[in-house]
Amino acid sequence: MSDCMPNRDHGINYIEFDVVDIDRAKRFYSSAFGWSFTDYGPGYCEFNDGFMKGGFAQSGRSSWGGPLVVLYANDLEATQAKVLTAGGEIIKPIFSFPGGRRFHFRDQDGYEMAVWSEPDGE
């Protein structure tokens, strides 16, 4: 790993917002902050704020509790096991999505977070 690319294992890597209307969210964040977007089907788009990326997932509801914070893991299965051992609750077991795999968990204070990794073999 190069000196200019820090180890990202278990670091915050992505923020995901549940939104009622993706097009409305895109208009707002583009107009207010100049963010750009990449669409991944009708129910999801990725935003780029110029520093980090995140996503808008159209769920038909907004999440007043805040965005979904997404961590990165080099070894998704080992990280899921660590979450369980530490007392976390898996609420969405490992699943595939365009670009990788991830799982969702709830910590002991009730915060939902996700952890993602590259697709198998990368």
Q: Which of 49, 66, 83 finishes a domain?
A: 66
Same domain? 52 vs 84: no
The range of the structural domain enclosing residue 22 comes to 14-66
- Reported as a single tens digit per residue, the pLDDT across 64-118 is 667 889 999 999 999 999 999 988 899 999 999 988 999 999 888 788 889 999 9
- Specify the pLDDT at position 82: 93
Contacts of 36 (CB under 8 A, 6+ apart): 30, 47, 48
- Specify the pLDDT at position 5: 47
Alpha carbon 49 to its chain's center: 15
Tokens (6 digits) for 109: 């204070």
- Specify the pLDDT at position 74: 93
- Is residue 1 over pLDDT 70? no
- Specify the pLDDT at position 77: 96
Please indicate whether residue 3 or residue 59 has the higher confidence score (pLDDT): 59
Task: Give the separation between CA 78 and CA 71, rounded to whole angstroms.
Answer: 14
Tell me the CATH number at 36: 3.10.180.10
Contacts of 67 (CB under 8 A, 6+ apart): 15, 16, 17, 54
Between the CA of residue 50 and those of 59, 96, 98, what are the distances in Å? Answer: 25, 26, 22
Task: Give the separation between CA 29 and CA 31, rounded to whole angstroms.
Answer: 5
Considering the domain boundaries, does residue 111 fall inside one?
yes
- Reported as a single tens digit per residue, the pLDDT across 3-47 is 444 678 888 889 998 888 899 999 989 988 889 999 998 899 999
Tokens (6 digits) for 64: 């007043």
Same domain? 85 vs 112: yes
Q: 115: burial class by Cβ within 10 Å (0-12, 13-18, 19+)?
A: buried
Q: How many domains does the chain have?
A: 2
